[in-house]
Amino acid sequence: MRNKIFLLLLLIVSFAFAIFTGGKILYLLVYEFAFFILLNYLYIRHIKNSIDIYVISHKDEITVGEEIAYEITLINNSFLPVFNLKIIDYSPLNAKFKSEEWYLMPFKNKKVQKKFVISKRGIYFLGPFEVEIKDPFGIFNVVKKYDFKLKFVVLPRIHNINVELKARQQLGNIEAENKAFEDYTNISQLRKYNYGDSIKRIHWKVSAKKRELYVKEFQVSAMSEVYILWDLDKNHFAMDTQGIIDENCAECMLSIAKFCLLHSIPVSVIDYNTGKVHIKGRTIKDFKNFIEASLRNFPVYEKSLEDFLRLYKSIPYDVTLILITPYLNNVILGELADLRSSNRELIIYYVNDPKEIEDKISKLDIEVVFWGKKDVKRAKKEFA
């Protein structure tokens, strides 16, 4: 801006001086000076129409802790060189790369690769971009806007874990020795009839062929339907300034859901805002819904966990409730103890430093798993 004002004043003064003196050389200098300014203006307008940029990403889905890599290509379609070109990235997640300057030869392009790491799950956008172009003498500058955005999905880490569930319902694939869990659709073997066997178990066709009574034995299998209550009370994450505990809770939820779905165990996630089931799955094909839920849910609510636990005293007896939380106090533990004493299956995944609650839970008959400690058997991280 200062250059423009200075040149304008210089042009006015030189023109006035030429008028009052009447010298031909001075008039010639004024015309040349004006023509020089006009050429710079036409140059900058031409370059603006000749410059293009393209931005591509190598991946549109990554996992927390992985690098996001994208490539910016600057293209000069003009027969004139670009002396000063600056690209500005307004992406809120990329603080390291805001602006850089380049020089481009005629009909040439330049590729620039950028990488950075995101430590929190979610859906992010890269862009918009602006290209600022200046003439060689810094008199004029123009800005060309590119409003397109690149979408990145950052997924939580997922671990292969083993969840110890008790068989509570008929059907499924968690073995149980109780005859009440026999699957009458799958015959495991035939054997000779023994005194006391039920007549209903006799296989009449085989018995008729062998002229001797044979009875059917069925496969014994069972499963426990799982409800996951993911604590999203923002007051329980007040000390989690970097979001590490929140990320651990998300990866815990997904790891549990993956285990259940791989073993064809029905699993549901409770909506912390409404208290209703909002995600259900039975097979690994449904896992995508749980991943999407992890990207939408964050600790932003002011809902009392104690109220939720009082509500879930009415859940069916044949359901295992898994609570994922970074916070346990005496009131919550009391509600959990009441829930457990009613013969409902309950597992707590505690995602925080266990030192504060180890003494409290040792007196209660509640299964507590400390997520992230050595006693949590996890395979090496697996990306979704």
Superfamily, domain 50-155: Immunoglobulins (2.60.40.10)
Q: What is the CA radius of gyration of the chain?
A: 35
Dihedrals φ, ψ of 213, to 5°? -75, 130
Torsion over CA of 367, 364, 230 and 170, rounded to 10 degrees? 50
CA distance 142 to 133: 5
DSSP strand pairing (141-146 vs 277-281)? unpaired
Sheet holding 99-104, edge to edge: 99-104, 82-89, 129-134, 141-146
- The helix-helix angle for 244-262 and 287-296 (nearest 10°) equals 170
- Options 3.30.565.10, 3.40.50.410, 3.40.50.2300, 1.10.10.1100; CATH for 224-370 is 3.40.50.410
Confidence check: pLDDT of 381 > 50: no
pLDDT tens per residue across span 29-85:
777 777 888 888 899 999 999 999 888 888 888 999 888 888 888 899 999 999 888
- Secondary structure class of 52 (helix, strand, coil): strand
pLDDT at 98 over 80: no
Strand 214-223 relative to strand 169-175: parallel, antiparallel, unpaired?
A: antiparallel
284 torsion bin: left (phi>0), alpha (psi -120 to 50), beta (else)? alpha
Q: What is the mean pLDDT of residues 344-357?
A: 84
Q: What is the pLDDT of residue 18?
A: 64
pLDDT digits (tens, 9 = 90+) for 162-179: 888 765 444 344 444 444
Q: What percent of the chain has pLDDT over 70?
A: 77
- Provide the b/e sequence for 200-235 (b: ≥16 CB within 10 Å): ebebeeebeeeeebbbbebebbbbbbbbbbbbbbee
What's the mean per-residue pLDDT of the chain?
Answer: 79
Tell me: the pLDDT tens digits for 313-340?
Answer: 556 667 888 999 999 888 888 888 777 7
